[in-house]
Structure formats: structure tokens, C-alpha cells
Structure 1
């Protein structure tokens, strides 16, 4: 469940890569790599959401596997992003954290919206043989990757921003819990 909070944090970091208002010299190479990874992961997450939103049971198994392929690309990006983000092992500067969490505030709706789409499409997935099993596996895999990322990001968050970071995590965790419950996914 914390995995989607990680995705939110990732997305926030990704948006900071595009935020011209931040002084890039104040952002370390490790944090910038993390931001770049988050940006890419957020873009792929939005691509996945679009695919899920467009899915109908009429698309059948080929439609479900096409969504799965997009999810697999997101997983690959998250693995790379985890490596980049977890390379930072000391508390980041306030400016770095502000850049990251300024973006996280924008990314949380992308994550919750994606989960809402997955939740809403359960009847369509359930109408296609094996589609629900694919979705369950994918959601659980993303949750695990995001949980790792979340742990890495929280570990380097300055004390002043920790409460805000944890609030983002709580928002994502709550939506992830709903998705797990909807699909009968066990942790």
C-alpha cells in the first residue's frame, strides 16, 4: 500500500525535473537522477491510466495483455528509478526536498486517479478470462516497487518536511488499500 505513495513521491520528483524555477546547481546529481526517473515513471503511469480507461471487455485478452505490457514498462522504469533514488543515503537539502515534494503534490492525483481507474474497470477485467489475475499480479508488483521507493525517499527527507511526506504516503496508501480490497489482493 505504501507502494503507491512511492509512486506519488516518484511522480513529484519527476515533475521537479521540469520545474525551471529550481536552481539545478542546488540539486545534487543523485537527486537529479531520481527526479529524472520519477518524471519518466509518471509519464508511463499516465500512459497506463489512459490504457486502463480505454479498456472494455470487448477488447478481450489481447486488450488486457496490451495493458500488461505498458505496466511491465512502468515496472522497468520503477526498478531503474529505485536504483537512482536509493543511491541517496543521507538527508537531502531543504531545497532538494522542496523540489521533490512540490512535485509530489502534483503527482499524488496521478497515482490516485490511476488506482481509481483500475478499481472502476474491475467488472470489465472480470469479464475477460485471466485478465483479473493479470491485474492483481501487476498491482501487487507495483505496490512492492513503490514501497521500496517510498522507504528510500522517506529515509532522506529533512525533518521539517517529514510530516508532509508521510501525509502523501497516507493518501496513496488509502487508495492502494481500496484497490487491494477490490481485487482481493493480499499483501
Structure 2
């Protein structure tokens, strides 16, 4: 058999952590717990997983005779989507920011620091936004007798000035 099966990922558990203060400190290592400044989105829909979307404008440039000479790429955008199953303070802060226990207002989404953590036994990987994320879309929220209420949340990830999207922490040994 070719390849290394230990490099294939099938994650058994995941969490999404949210911090409203963009200066909130990251845990120093993947072994360190998140501080109380980070809120937990709670139960996530494992079947939906955490999806990563990428979008960019691509242009092909041709010479006379229809010969492709160059492709340009610009306006890169990354999104991360997850489905929360809990109606808690963290999820409400993403879905209905500015609302209270007694009123729901038109959402005005602001920047959040976000960490996506996936786990399988002793293997852990975290992606923590270097700059911030902003809620891009909220999927349909359905009250039903047959299905759990779900909050499908898509976040746009904003890179820093060097194009860095995430700080990565992992138990995987990475060799250059």
C-alpha cells in the first residue's frame, strides 16, 4: 500500500471557540486550555462538520493564436461554516448580536476571534484566526417537532497584512 493512513483525518469531535475581544490571548500550545475569555459554541452537528470554502477571481491571459501564457488570481476569500445545535449565549451572539433575553434586533455583525478545534483520540488540531472573522451568513433556522433546531453559521475569515489567516496548533509533528 502506498501513502500513510495515519495522515488521513476522520475527526471524532470538534469545538468552536469565540472571543469578542480581538486581543484575547491564544493558548500557548495545543495542550493548554482556552481561557475564560473564550466562549464555547457548544454542541455541533458532526455530520455537517466544519466546512472550508474558498473563492477568488481567476483570469486567464492568452497570446495571439490562443496560447495560454499566464493565469492571474486575486480577491481571495475564505469562509468556514459550522452548525451549532445549542441556543446559548455564544451562539446567540453570532446569530443575533445586540439582542437581549427579551428583544431581538436587526443583526449588526462585528469582528470576532475564532478557534476551530478538531480531535481524534490524542490528536488535536486548532486553527485560530490571526486577525478576525465576521459572520457572513446564517442559514435557515427551523423550529420543528422532527428535527433539532440548528444554527448554520458561515464566517468570513480576514487575513492579516501578510496574508496569514490562522495560527495553527497541532499535536501532529510537522517536519519542513
The structure, 1 or 2, with the larger RCO (C-alpha pairs under 8 Å, 6+ apart) is 1
Please tell me the TM-score bracket, short chain as reference: under 0.3
TM-score, normalization by structure 2: 0.25
TM-score, normalization by structure 1: 0.24
